[in-house]
Structure 1
């Protein structure tokens, strides 16, 4: 029960790593508040978790939406101890595809802007909304979802890589600015994790990804959730401004 009575906010909590994190935090004694754009899935998760869990429909790209969510949580629970900035999307495509001397396709401005708004601005919006309360109460924890793509880049993911590099940059900056208030900020960089979305990929591709990983398997959402739970707990009280990979050693195998 490492998170007993801590009020923990998790964005993108309706599925995948967000859902697994909500389950883990609840098992550790936390009061869990998840948000997502998918109302049906989000409410289903909250219902499944039962007492100690709540769901809000929130668009993390909309500041007013985020602020209303945080204000309601503070009014209801009186504090915010942990924020997990988990919400994120992909819109993959080559930056420029060139064939026979001509540009045949390129990443659209729409896809670039959309991914930046959710993955980067969303983290900015949610963190800025909770910080005043964390300062008033004497501390808190911010956990930001980056990616191994945010460390090394990846083919066809200009937009996604930009956001995940950016998340690390914000984490490093906020650790300098917020440490004086006893607010710890860290970034987590998952490798290939078997979420519902990833499981829909062809079996041959999944086998290839596992083969590239030194541990010989892909990660489970629970692997990342376990790391988040430790970082959110007092056991990690001196971990601050860190960027932690959880990839089964895949970077070594690429």
Structure 2
């Protein structure tokens, strides 16, 4: 047991932790006894977490947010880079702004946070970096060239980080959710949901707690020998990819 474990757990940062999958991840880490800072544009956070306003596309805001988290909770030991946006359209209609927004948030934002978090992890010789990817990162999806590319790139980032800093007790993994019940899927027509379910071997959509439980395990001491992995939470939709 290290000096930061025990009753107070470890210092964790979750980006995009204010709603949906991110909020469930925050709740799971809190339940495991960790001290959690939740980054979001508005700074709102689930009960029990420290809410910090941060736009991950802004390097200065990322630095300020990490400083605030460390002042409150100590050096960051767990990072869940969960912030993400979509700007879906077919490639012939996709413009540079739609490409850049998705890449700057989903990929460059994750890079900024991983770079900043690794600073304290390397000093402590312990760390967990977890990226929220997506089944479409390797499976593909029409109208999501930008989103799919950004999520696929997280796999290369995690594997490169594993080779670069894995010898210092830091792991880097990707959790790849499939179709999950969130506010976004709640507004979809029944026939669209039925179409999704027909393509999923499990025959249903996932729930946010299933993704959060996977993240919580990867953040634990028990997952210390898992790194550079892509863990699907998709009901079997993307198997083989």
- TM-score per shorter chain, which class? over 0.9
Q: Work out whether 1:33 is the aligned partner of 2:20.
A: no
CA distance in 1, matches of 2:200, 2:159: 28
CA distance in 1, matches of 2:6, 2:164: 26
Which residue of 2 is the match for residue 121 of structure 1?
108
- Whether the 8 Å contact between 2:17 and 2:23 is mirrored in structure 1 is yes
Tell me how far 1:4 sits from its aligned partner.
5.4
Which residue of 2 is the match for residue 250 of structure 1?
237
Q: Work out whether 1:171 is the aligned partner of 2:190.
A: no
Which residue of 2 is the match for residue 150 of structure 1?
137
- Whether the 8 Å contact between 1:217 and 1:248 is mirrored in structure 2 is yes
Residues 216/3 of structure 1: CA separation in 2 closer, same or farther (3 Å cut): farther
Which residue of 2 is the match for residue 7 of structure 1?
11
CA distance in 1, matches of 2:23, 2:6: 18
CA distance in 1, matches of 2:6, 2:87: 37
CA distance in 2, matches of 1:194, 1:141: 26
Tell me how far 1:11 sits from its aligned partner.
0.3
Structure 1: where are the runs of 5+ without partners?
Answer: 97-105
Q: CA RMSD, aligned part only?
A: 1.8
Q: Helix, strand or coil for the counterpart of 2:156?
A: helix
Where do 1:15-26 residues align within 5 Å? 15-26=19-30
CA distance in 2, matches of 1:188, 1:15: 17
TM-score by length of 1: 0.89
Q: Work out whether 1:94 is the aligned partner of 2:98.
A: no
Residues 185/3 of structure 1: CA separation in 2 closer, same or farther (3 Å cut): farther
- Whether the 8 Å contact between 1:4 and 1:28 is mirrored in structure 2 is no
Q: Work out whether 1:76 is the aligned partner of 2:72.
A: yes
- Whether the 8 Å contact between 1:36 and 1:58 is mirrored in structure 2 is yes
Tell me how far 1:3 sits from its aligned partner.
9.0
Runs of 4+, deviation exceeding 3 Å: 1-4
Which residue of 2 is the match for residue 102 of structure 1?
none
CA distance in 2, matches of 1:249, 1:240: 21
Tell me how far 1:21 sits from its aligned partner.
0.5
Which residue of 2 is the match for residue 100 of structure 1?
none
Tell me how far 1:2 sits from its aligned partner.
9.2
- Whether the 8 Å contact between 2:91 and 2:143 is mirrored in structure 1 is yes
Residues 2/226 of structure 1: CA separation in 2 closer, same or farther (3 Å cut): farther
CA distance in 1, matches of 2:7, 2:40: 22
Tell me how far 1:115 sits from its aligned partner.
0.4
Q: Helix, strand or coil for the counterpart of 2:181?
A: coil
TM-score by length of 2: 0.94
Q: Helix, strand or coil for the counterpart of 2:206?
A: coil
Comparing 201-210 with 2-11, which one deviates more in the overlay?
Answer: 2-11
Structure 2: where are the runs of 5+ without partners?
Answer: none
CA distance in 1, matches of 2:7, 2:80: 14
- Rg comparison, structure with higher value: 1
> Residues 51-110 of structure 1: CA distance to partner in whole angstroms, max 9, x if unpaired?
xx20001000111100111122222222211000000000000002xxxxxxxxx11111
CA distance in 2, matches of 1:214, 1:77: 42
